Amino acid sequence: MAQILAGDIRKGTTFEYKSGVYTVTEFQHVKPGKGAAFVRTTLKNVKTGQVLTDETFNPTTKLETAQVETKKMTYSYFDGEFYVFVDDEWNETRLTLSQVEDALKYIRENDTVTVRFLYDEAFSVEPENFVELKVIEAEPGVKGNTATNVTKAAKVETGATFQVPMFVEEGDTIRIDTRTGEYMSRV
């Protein structure tokens, strides 16, 4: 099985740790003024959803990578219990809320996503890096308030709320970076 150095892990890296398989949800390389550098992470167990916060590693620690496969799929529908995704051959994959929760604010029915599998069992969904969503609710901009970096809340068609510039209005379509959750531009 392949190994990865802790210093090379990034968001989305999946590896075996403490008799489970975890994916990195947050990481930070820390280089203190005194002492050795280390990597601080937040990990999520891909099977149970258990979250481990503030797990630290020496950058030279070797970790066993887990064999993760990805497949492009289309979000089809929510049946009241499961979120259903289909591939090109119309094979269905059913996922629970905890498995898709992070992606839901970016995806709508018929959107293409990447579903991640561990040993042929789906465990998470990743939206495209950039998505375009329609603004359904936005506070009106205040006339004369054109200072740079002034933002307001805007609700999009998925139900999520993002911070957007003052000029964005209800009915506009905006581009969001799903890796950071930040507004990129008006479309």
Digitized pLDDT (tens) for each residue of the chain, 187 residues in all: 689 999 899 888 889 998 889 989 889 999 888 888 999 999 988 877 788 988 999 999 999 988 888 999 999 999 999 999 999 999 999 999 988 988 999 999 999 999 988 888 888 899 999 999 999 999 887 666 555 678 899 999 999 999 999 889 999 999 999 988 899 999 8
Sequence-ordered list of residues with C-beta below 8 angstroms from that of 64, at least 6 positions apart, any chain: 1, 2, 3, 15, 16
Domain check: are 44 and 97 in the same one?
no
Last residue of a domain, one of 127, 153, 175: 127
Domain check: are 7 and 36 in the same one?
yes
Residue ranges making up the domain that contains 144:
130-186
Question: What gap in Å lies between CA 74 and CA 56, rounded to an integer?
Answer: 36
Last residue of a domain, one of 41, 65, 89: 65
Domain check: are 92 and 136 in the same one?
no
pLDDT at 19: 86
pLDDT at 55: 92
pLDDT at 46: 83
Report which of 172, 181, 23, 186 is spatially closest to residue 105, judged by C-alpha positions.
181
Domain check: are 87 and 121 in the same one?
yes
What's the total number of domains in the chain?
A: 3
Question: What gap in Å lies between CA 31 and CA 14, rounded to an integer?
Answer: 23
CATH code, domain with 45: 2.30.30.30
Domain check: are 20 and 59 in the same one?
yes
Domain check: are 73 and 38 in the same one?
no
Last residue of a domain, one of 127, 143, 166: 127
CATH code, domain with 95: 2.40.50.140
Global pTM reads: 0.73
C-alpha torsion 41→129→98→111, nearest 10: -170
Domain check: are 118 and 155 in the same one?
no
